[in-house]
Structure formats: C-alpha cells, structure tokens
Structure 1
C-alpha cells in the first residue's frame, strides 16, 4: 500500500487519529485549539516516533517521570512535532494552511478526518442543553469544508453526535449535505455504536463519510463485532487505589487477558500510567457507598431516594441519575466527567471512589501508554478527563480506518 496521508481537524486528544495511524495512515497535521490536547498530541507523536525507531525506553522514562516533557520532545525530530498545530479553525485558516503546506511539501492529502465540537447539537447529558440562537458551532462544517476545498482529498470522515441529524428539524444536516455537494463531494451518514466495534461502552456517534463526486463511491462496509465485552475485562488487572491517588505509575495486579492484548490496550510494558483519582468529601463517599449497595440489590439509585441529610441537590424531579455506578453492562462516557465523577462511581465498595483517569481511558479504549497532558507539566487530572470524555474511541476509529483503507485500495 502506498502512503495514505491525512489531516486531522478538531483533533482533540487524538483518538480518531490513533485508529488511522494503526492502519498505516500518515498524519500530515493535527489541528486543535485546546492547548493541553495539543501537548497530548505531541506526546503521542513522540511515542510513535520512538516506538518505530526502537527507542521506547526514552518514552517509558517519561511516563515514569525520570525525564521531563522538554527532554522527551528533544528526542523527536522537530518537523514531526510541527505536525501538531495549535490553532482555532475558522479564526486563522490561512495561517493553518501555511503550516500544513510547509509540512506537506510536494505531497498531496488523501483524506481529512475530524469531529467539530458537538455541544450545539447535543441533547445528551444531565439535562437538555440550551444554546444561543445562531450558535456559530453549528456552522463549523463550513470551516471543515474549506479544508476540503483547499486540499481536495479523495475522501473525508466527519464524526459527530446523533443530534446533528435531527437538530433544528434536520436542517443542519440538510445544509451540511448540500454545501458539501456544492464543493464537489457526495456523502452518507450512519449512526454507529462503539459497543458494536469492540469498545466496552455504549457510545453512539454519527459517522459521515464523503468522497469526490467523480469517484462514484458509496459508504464503505464497517463490519460489526459479534463478540461483546464487559467492564470486568478492562478493570480486573488494575491495582486498588484510594481517592486522591497521584502516583505516576502503578504495577499491574494480574496477567494480560486476551481482550486487552487484541485491542492494544496493554501493549507490552510492565506498568500503567495515570491511574490517578479525584479526592472526594465524606458526604459524596457516603452517597457512593449507598449507590453501590443499591446496585448490588439490582437497583439504580435515584436522587429522590438519597436521604435529605445527604442529598446535595434539592431538585428531586429532574437529574434523577446524578449518581451512577459503572456497572458490568457498558457505561457511556460523557464529557461531564471533567466536572465531577458522580456519574462514574467505581463498583468496588472497598475502594469507594470515582474512576481513575486510566479507567476512563480504558472505557474509551485508549492504550495504557497513552499519556494525557495538561498545559503545565504536572498531574493533569482535569485536563485528562476532559480530553477523554470528548474523544473518539481508538478501537472504533481503527475499524473506520480499515474500511477507508479498503475503499482507497479497491478503487
């Protein structure tokens, strides 16, 4: 297969890109506005370079804290780190184009991937979201389209929440489709659930795939996995930790299982990074214990069943599932995990805490050596949760990437 080059727009922490990298695609650029996520992307660029050049020990030294981020980046060619562009798409498109052109040289772009911020379309969370009229985020597909017009890839992948198809009675999606047709692309959209593609999570996303009109293609087949997996398979080998855990690395407590190996979650090193947790106050811990006990009886605790002396919200008609234990059944990862851990209570009453950064990353199918950065070089717990909550699961992304590779190679 010849090299397939791609641009990742609205790249976030790189979950979508990770899947395409695993299938042999070569990133030309990752464009992302969030500065912490850009450091995460650079650190993953460093991982891939060092791994492919037989220098994994340098990366492992960084995970352990033996060297700092500056030292890690010194070990990587500057042109590779420059593939990460910290910019707001739409605010400085010409400047971003120039940076991409400098990296691209005489090569062409085969593919553009990306998922514009989806809050303006989202109705999932603690309550229906209220947005201002004419929210500019609903038109970010136009900014995405400007990159299609500039680089003319054969195909693109556009990821978003299910609401993009139905928001404003479907007018946003109709406008998107009409605009992309005007600039030379046909497209189709399908609602995919990460649980059907090997991820231990019910996470529905709309995956729009488009192609140049003259290619006369159609939406590629993305086969569903028949085997389904559950929580225990991703939590069982991680050590017990307490609320407020800050240790840089931890040792595994059991052998590698087949799922973790096949999905690349445990990928060869003898320790796990960022198994760090939030601190909690005594009242929250008491509610967590009650929630676990109720689940052991087969019931989900509701806010109106929490004793008044413990309840932190007076509203007992809305937000009834404010506290939720991660059960054996797939648990949906939501961006709110960056705010608090109440919707992600660890099921082990002996630990009595919300899930760690690493456990959240595993629910999203990120490998254990994927390091989530903060702007400052410290233990970036909140920034990590934010990036994980907004990410595309890499295992699902790899299935999409394989379908795109087959499409490009077969035509």
Structure 2
C-alpha cells in the first residue's frame, strides 16, 4: 500500500482524498487542535470501517458514546499518526523523531509521498489587498522551506504541494522562483498547473495551484487530468436536507431517496448519520437582506450590490469596497462560488437559496459544497468547523489527484 505524510494537514481534505484512494497515512502534522481532533476522529472511522465495526463510529455520531470511548476503541498508534505541532525550524528534529517512531510502529522503511500546503493567507490576493506591504514580512511566506526539509529527510518518490493561485505572483513572483530552485536543489523535477475543483466532480468553482514533484532521474511526470463535465447543479447538494430556520438544527434527513449526484460521489451513503446540519442565528435585519438578495437572484438572475439595498438595511460605513458582501448560493448554477474560511465569521457570503428559510448555510451544507462526505465529522465548535471546512482542499479534487498519481507510484513500488 502506498504511504504518505500530510503536512499542514488542516482537517484533512487532502488526506481524505488520498486515504479514500487506498493510500495509508504515516503521519498528519497540523498546528490547530480542533483540526487535529477531526483528523483523529476520521482515523477512527477508517480503522473501524476496515475492521467491520463501523456501527461503533455511528454510535459516536448519534451521541450514544463519548469521544473518549470512540478513541479507546482503536489502537493508540492510529491516533498517534496525528501530530499536533506548529512546524518551525527549531522544532524539526523533534518532529522527525516522532515520524521515525511512527514509521517503525507501522513497519514502514521509506516514505512514498509527501502532500500538503502551508497556510495560504500570505500568498492570497485578498491577504495582500488587506495588509499590503506588511505581507512581505509574514513568516508564512517561508513555510515551504520546512516542507523542503521534510523532502530532504525522507526523499519520497513524489510530492504534492497545494496553494492559492496568488502563490505564483506574490512578491512579484520571487517567492515562487525561490521555491522552484529549492525543490530542484532537493533533487526534484517540478511542474504545476492551476486546477479547478469543478473539474473533479465538485459543484464549486475553486482554483488551486497544484505543484507536483518527482525525484530526478525517475520516469515519473505531471499527470494529465481529465476534465469531468457534469449535468448537476448546486441544488443537488442541498435538496435532501431538512428545511430549517436561522439558529435551528435538524439532523434527520429530509428525503430518504437521495439524488444521483450524492450517490455517485459518495457524499451520502446508505445508513449515514446526518450531523452538523445547524445554522447560525441571524438577526432580523440580516434576514431581510438575505430575502432581498435571494429574490433578486430568483427574479433577475443577478447578484445585488450592497449599495442597492434599502437605506435602512445598510449599516456599514464602507460603501465603496466589498459591495458583494451578501451573496446567495445559487441553486440553479452548476457550481457554487469559492468556499472560504471567512464563513466562520459570518454567513453573508453563503446565503441559502430558499427564501422561506432566509438563513446562511449550515456546517453540513458548507461541507457538502467542499465535497466532504456526510460521515465526515468535524470536531470543535461551529466556528471551528466552518474554519476547517473553508480552509480545506475538496476531498473529491484530492481523490482525482491521488488516483492519477497512484498509477505511477504503484509501478515504482512493484
């Protein structure tokens, strides 16, 4: 079985795609405690699923057993694959020691693949617009150097480095040029493309730079990804979930016979337990704005600008920037707009399309837009769950990448 290490793992969007494709995780490295708990819970799912004990995992989702009871039902070495640490230059020797212990426990002699991408805020166009020149001093610009230290230590056959398109132009392209040279010095050929999640069965337009490297002297290469066309629309993500109002929660599926999209992608499976279908409370002024935004889309098929709202609903002094701060998730389009971590602060940019509900989307709806399966459970508060989802790589996109790389890696492991 092909093994991998996931760096800057987040909640495990990349890992979900690779593990679902038959890869085995040796270690996940992540600094956020809530995301690490999510990774551990997901590790429990895969262990119990393989042991034909998935009912125990479902008991946890139903609230019938505690998280401690769930965690004690799997070997400690499974949970230990999740390393809750902030990667830093001074901490790398200790991190390598922990990974070496995990390799020994799992009887792994060498690492096949490294995946991951450092936090993208330092490279994002939005981050640069907000912080301007200060972004040049952001230490996150240089986290790729820690990634390269891991490459130098374990010399995997391939690596996948994911980030926002702004990576290519940050600091006038100098960061990326330095990165390319560093990967080459580490012994890897490198290529990259800007890929869109919508071409991997994800009903979301989400562009990401996917860098793939392989050891020099090997016959490996950047794979060709077939763009998948879909006849589905965003409504197919939402229509089996129960209608709820602002601030409500209902974890009982509204429709038992779910649609083809959910079946084909594996987002919903038979006997799944619905969780996190909970909406944040919205004040009445915001709900009035939501109804106006939804009605404008329904009747005119256009996005309303903030300055078009009735005067009594406009409370922001800034009337020149971010005029699209209220945006409906249009159910009749083939893709949703890009999911972002900002959804953890408010839901104005992701308004549910049903005017009778007039609320921001739930955690589960956001997870589905990102293509997380319904049996994927997010640990932590509602805010923490939204943050994990907004920062994640869509698992279906990760799976598409994993399956193409698998063709090359399996040949090398024979």
TM range (shorter): over 0.9
> Who is 1:8 aligned against?
6
Q: Contact 2:272–2:375 (CA<8 Å) still a contact in 1?
A: no
Could you tell me which runs of 5 or more consecutive residues in structure 1 were left unpaired when the two chains were aligned: 375-379
CA deviation profile, 1:237-266 (whole Å, cap 9, x unmatched): 11101111245x322424122211111100
- Structure 1's 169 and 126: CA in aligned 2 closer, same or farther, altered over 3 A? closer
CA deviation profile, 1:190-224 (whole Å, cap 9, x unmatched): 00000011000000000000011121432111211
Residues 50-69 of structure 1 aligned to structure 2 (within 5 Å) = 50-69=48-67
Q: Which of 330, 336, 340 is the aligned partner of 2:346?
A: 340
Residues 5-404 of structure 1 aligned to structure 2 (within 5 Å) = 5-90=3-88, 91-105=90-104, 106-107=107-108, 108-124=110-126, 128-130=130-132, 131-247=134-250, 249-297=251-299, 298-327=301-330, 328-329=332-333, 330-331=335-336, 332-374=338-380, 380-404=381-405
- Report the 3-state secondary structure (helix = DSSP H, G, I; strand = E; otherwise coil) of the residue aligned with 2:87: coil
Task: State the alpha-carbon separation in 1 of the partners of residues 287 and 129 from structure 2.
Answer: 24
Q: Contact 1:121–1:164 (CA<8 Å) still a contact in 2?
A: yes
- Report the 3-state secondary structure (helix = DSSP H, G, I; strand = E; otherwise coil) of the residue aligned with 1:272: coil
Post-superposition shift, 1:132?
3.6
Q: Contact 1:198–1:229 (CA<8 Å) still a contact in 2?
A: no
Q: Contact 1:252–1:270 (CA<8 Å) still a contact in 2?
A: no
Post-superposition shift, 1:294?
1.0
> Who is 1:377 aligned against?
none
Task: State the alpha-carbon separation in 2 of the partners of residues 31 and 97 from structure 1.
Answer: 11
Task: State the alpha-carbon separation in 1 of the partners of residues 407 and 102 from structure 2.
Answer: 26
- Structure 1's 113 and 228: CA in aligned 2 closer, same or farther, altered over 3 A? farther
* TM-score normalised by length of structure 1: 0.95
Task: State the alpha-carbon separation in 2 of the partners of residues 407 and 207 from structure 1.
Answer: 17
- Report the 3-state secondary structure (helix = DSSP H, G, I; strand = E; otherwise coil) of the residue aligned with 1:121: coil
Q: Contact 1:31–1:86 (CA<8 Å) still a contact in 2?
A: yes
- Report the 3-state secondary structure (helix = DSSP H, G, I; strand = E; otherwise coil) of the residue aligned with 2:100: helix
Task: State the alpha-carbon separation in 2 of the partners of residues 125 and 169 from structure 1.
Answer: 15
Post-superposition shift, 1:270?
4.6
- Report the 3-state secondary structure (helix = DSSP H, G, I; strand = E; otherwise coil) of the residue aligned with 2:312: coil
Give the total of aligned pairs: 403
* TM-score normalised by length of structure 2: 0.94
Quote the RMSD (CA, aligned, Å).
1.5
Post-superposition shift, 1:226?
2.4
> After TM superposition, where is structure 1 displaced by more than 3 Å over at least 4 residues in a row?
124-132
